[in-house]
Structure 1
Amino acid sequence: MRTPDVRRWTGLSALAVALFLAVEAITKLTMPPRPQLDDSDALVAYAQASSSQTFIVILADTFVMAFLIVFLASFRQLINRARPDVEWLADLAFGAGLVFIAVTLVGDAMDGGAALDTLGLTPDPSAIRTLIEGHAIMFGSTGAVLLALVSATAAYLTFLSGAVPRWTGYLAAATAVSNLVWAPLGFTGTSPTSFFATGGAGNAILAIFPWLVWVFCVGITTVRGARPGTARSGGPKAVADAAV
């Protein structure tokens, strides 16, 4: 059997992430607006009305996280091939990415728990509120700090190794800054109408979306597999070292 082309798998996993994110986005458009968390009756009605969409979003997000693991492992291998001497930095980006994925999955479980509370049970508004608030923190500031670490490390590794185009490094650096800016803003309340609410629109636009754009862009540049003239055993740095 042929050895899988790590560049192609980097690209394919990123495209799969984009596909399942599209499923999430379309599903979320069908969900009713979330009420204030202290309006118990409205909160229970919201959880009941949106439970099916919530489960679809969580299932799609689980696939997103699975393909992100493939992407992060592939990106790590691209760096290690190009610059074996900075493997520890590639491990840092990979490890921080895995922690972000774990935090996201726990947040999804909390969101799913709020929806499950409405199926065949007498909904408990205090439980639903607590689960939504916990999910918002994980999805918000906690995730933003982890994404800043992943993005900053990825940017540095891109400039250092040349494993992927340099412009994706600038995009990763901008993503790191955006997430760091958002992190302290994620504790400014839970109002569903506020841009700066915990886990709200600001979090999606300033933290999650820029990072996923970086993932997609790296994927587009690598999906066609090994670059012409590049040895399979390494990237530009490895080829240069071999020539020397």
Structure 2
Amino acid sequence: MPRAPRGPGGSAAPPDLATVADLLWRVDAERTAEGRPRLTPRRIVAAAAAAAVAVVDTAGLAYVTVTPVAASVEAGIVLENPGGRLDPAVDGPLAHANMLMHGSAARLLTAVLLTAAGYAILRAGVLPRWTGYPACAIAAVHLAFVPSLFFGTDAACFYSAVGWGNTALTAALLVYWAFAVGIALLRRTPRAGLRAAA
């Protein structure tokens, strides 16, 4: 078996289009020989959408895991200093870790979640297309705020680790998108199904 071509630094070069086409042809031939359905563009898109849904699930689970940890760190600062002299968002031994969990780490997880959700919506068509495009746009906004951790910790600054752009704006965009998706889901639900559920 010939060795894979090497790129700069000795790393394996990415496969070219002919290699990918050959691989898909071989997989399709094996599926046909086994009596399984052939690979069609529709099935490939459905598999990609299913993978995107799995990414949404995983990113959502990671986000739901990180958020309570950050809230616990804030609560720990308040419990340690009950006099109210410290701001748990910027004071205390774990304040900078808390800034990362509420800031850049949450922005990155949300961007992954929204990108995968937008892809799944646009490819699978489970929701109207107008809900997929804003998901991708909001994911881009969240990605733009990931480097804000390098711009200080001034809460009054728009683009900082705890700035109002990194916390309030990004969270508001996510909530507005979730609200719009909820409306789209309610509009797609048949009225007879709603009456039967009630």
TM-score, normalising length: structure 1: 0.53
Q: Within 5 Å, which residues of 2 pair with 1:1-244?
A: 85=47, 86-119=49-82, 128-223=91-186, 226-227=189-190
1:89-135 deviation per Cα after TM superposition (whole angstroms, max 9, x unaligned): 20111111110111111111111111111238x98x9x942233221
- Whole-Å Cα distance in 2 between the matches of residues 90 and 155 of structure 1? 10
Aligned AA for 1:185?
A: S
- Whole-Å Cα distance in 1 between the matches of residues 145 and 156 of structure 2? 17
1:26-66 deviation per Cα after TM superposition (whole angstroms, max 9, x unaligned): xxxxxxxxxxxxxxxxxxxxxxxxxxxxxxxxxxxxxxxxx
- Whole-Å Cα distance in 1 between the matches of residues 156 and 162 of structure 2? 12
- Whole-Å Cα distance in 1 between the matches of residues 125 and 181 of structure 2? 12
SS at the partner of 1:192?
coil
Unaligned runs of 5+ in 2: 1-44, 194-198
Aligned AA for 1:118?
A: N
- Whole-Å Cα distance in 2 between the matches of residues 194 and 110 of structure 1? 23
Deviation at 1:165, TM superposition (A): 1.4
**Given that residues 103 and 149 in structure 2 are in contact (C-alpha distance below 8 angstroms), is that contact kept between their aligned partners in structure 1?**
yes
Unaligned runs of 5+ in 1: 1-82, 231-244
**Given that residues 178 and 206 in structure 1 are in contact (C-alpha distance below 8 angstroms), is that contact kept between their aligned partners in structure 2?**
no
Q: Which has the higher helix share?
A: 1
- Whole-Å Cα distance in 2 between the matches of residues 129 and 194 of structure 1? 20
Deviation at 1:205, TM superposition (A): 4.0
**Given that residues 113 and 131 in structure 1 are in contact (C-alpha distance below 8 angstroms), is that contact kept between their aligned partners in structure 2?**
no
The CA RMSD measured in Å over matched residues stands at 2.9
TM-score, normalising length: structure 2: 0.64
Structure with bigger gyration radius: 2
Of structures 1 and 2, the one with the larger relative CO (CA 8 A, separation 6+) is 1
1:166-219 deviation per Cα after TM superposition (whole angstroms, max 9, x unaligned): 111111011111011110123311123222221220112443221222111111
Aligned AA for 2:167?
A: A
Percentage identity across paired residues of the two chains: 30
Aligned residues: 146
Deviation at 1:138, TM superposition (A): 0.6
